[in-house]
Amino acid sequence: MDTHSDRALLDDILSGADVTLDGPDPWDIQVRDPRFFRRVLAEGELGLGESYMDGWWEAEQLDEMIARILRAELDGKVAHAWPTRVRLALAMLTNLQSRRRAFMVGERHYDLGNGLFSAMLDRRMNYSCGYWAGAHSLDEAQENKLDLLCCKLGLEPGMRVLDIGCGWGAFGKYAAERYGVEVVGITVSKEQVALGRRLCEGLPVELRLMDYRDLEGTFDRVVSVGMIEHVGTRNYRTYFEVAERCLAEGGLFLLHTIGANRSSSSPSPWIDRYIFPNGKLPSIAQIGRAIEGLFVMEDWHGFGPDYDRTLLAWHDNVTAAWPALASRYDERFRRMWSYYLLSCAGAFRARHIQLWQVVLSKGGVPGGYRRVTS
């Protein structure tokens, strides 16, 4: 095909989402390089993201553009390039989240620099969805989320809590300060451990650099916030077996995760290449199969639309802080990071992906579990 034919075909596909090439609406795509048409038609999601990073197109409301495309399910109407098909096959045939590869996401994402994440996140350094009920700021939404976790877990002074995927220790610090518990948190990021230990200094919070499969010990409660997304389909059962092994009799495990509407063993090609290597969102069915015979599912709470608002707040923070960050990160990185945050916001807005908090018990709560919201 020539450029004119490529443009006409792509314009026809996008019309199903009310998105127009060089159109008047803020969610329309403004093309800066005619190579964009062929690249997207040939490479799909990966080509769309990479061509944005290269400055080949703009959209005033990129998040809304993505939301419209996903609502119309146009993501399946363009071809996958052969590197993407190879990656999908590898995800099905191999364990991309093996012990040997466990620290890759820490090195390539979470170790990008504490300065970047400090500028982007709330004052407590939560890198997960806030809970916006009654909140008027990102700080309030994230504190709401932390308290929601603590209340759902029924924390009491003196309890010992395991945090699988602790980040910079935001949960551990909050739970120790407000609820008088002792927390052990683990992460695969050296940068998170270094800063997290300073933030939690003087509190009964221990942060460890380790793979979850090496965990030992017994804890009254277990929490895992935004970590199972890095575990991989082949390892879900092992992940829950570790949590069950570490949980005391009568204890509760709270899983906070982004979720997929459909079961799949393959990652998003653009997110996999540029943001979270080897990442994979679990589905309801996959979680259900993985916990069977290990836990009683006591509660399942979804608030995915809150992630849309959280991501937009992060994007606003990065945009405001960019003059101070620009000396370390180049323009292509800025566009990559912007595309990451805004495209994910659009995906949550379209309800293409979800956010769940799942409370699991070891043996069932006598008399039943009652959800608390604050």
Residue-level pLDDT, tens digit, the chain, 374 residues: 589 999 999 999 999 999 999 999 999 999 999 999 999 999 999 999 999 999 999 999 999 999 999 999 997 666 544 444 444 444 444 445 445 544 454 455 556 678 899 999 999 999 999 999 999 999 999 999 999 999 999 999 999 999 999 999 999 999 999 999 999 999 999 999 999 999 999 999 999 999 999 999 999 999 999 999 999 899 999 999 999 999 999 999 999 999 999 998 667 899 988 998 888 999 999 999 999 999 999 999 999 999 999 999 999 999 999 999 999 999 999 999 999 999 999 999 999 999 999 999 999 999 999 987 65
Is 246 annotated as catalytic? no
Residue 342 one-letter amino acid: L
CB 152 within 8 A of CB 356: no
- Within 125-281, residue ranges assigned H as helices are 138-153, 170-179, 190-199, 236-246, 269-274
- Residue 179 and residue 37 in one domain: no
Give the pLDDT score at 92: 46
Domain limit, last residue, from 14, 49, 79 = 79
C-alpha to C-alpha distance for 361 and 363, rounded to whole angstroms? 6
Pairing outcome for strands 219-225 and 247-260 = parallel
Quote the tokens at residue 29.
């795509």
Our measurement of the distance from residue 179's CA atom to the centroid of its chain's CA atoms, rounded to an integer in Å, reads 27
Give the pLDDT score at 114: 87
C-alpha to C-alpha distance for 228 and 224, rounded to whole angstroms? 8
- Residue 162 and residue 291 in one domain: yes
Judge whether 67 lies within some domain: yes
Judge whether 373 lies within some domain: no
List the catalytic residue out of 129, 166, 200, 344.
344
Cβ neighbours, 10 Å, residue 156: 11
Judge whether 86 lies within some domain: no
C-alpha to C-alpha distance for 180 and 168, rounded to whole angstroms? 19
In order of 77, 120, 235, 287, 372, the CA distances from 315 in angstroms are 29, 7, 32, 30, 30
Judge whether 357 lies within some domain: yes
Cβ neighbours, 10 Å, residue 338: 18
Give the pLDDT score at 279: 84
- Residue 128 and residue 24 in one domain: no
State whether residue 19 is helix, strand or coil: coil
- Residue 74 and residue 131 in one domain: no
Contacts of 5 (CB under 8 A, 6+ apart): none
126 burial type by CB count under 10 A (0-12 exposed, 13-18 middle, 19+ buried): buried
Judge whether 95 lies within some domain: no
- Residue 203 and residue 351 in one domain: yes
Residue 23, domain extent? 3-79
Quote the tokens at residue 28.
């329309």
Cβ neighbours, 10 Å, residue 26: 11
State whether residue 209 is helix, strand or coil: strand
- Residue 61 and residue 116 in one domain: no
Count of structural domains, the chain: 2
Judge whether 216 lies within some domain: yes
Give the CA angle between residues 348, 237, 281 to the nearest 5°: 15
Strands (E), the chain: 30-31, 57-58, 160-164, 182-187, 205-209, 219-225, 247-260, 296-302, 353-361
* Cross-strand partners of 205: 183
Quote the tokens at residue 7.
């443009």
Judge whether 84 lies within some domain: no
> Interhelix angle for 3-15 vs 35-53, to 10°?
60
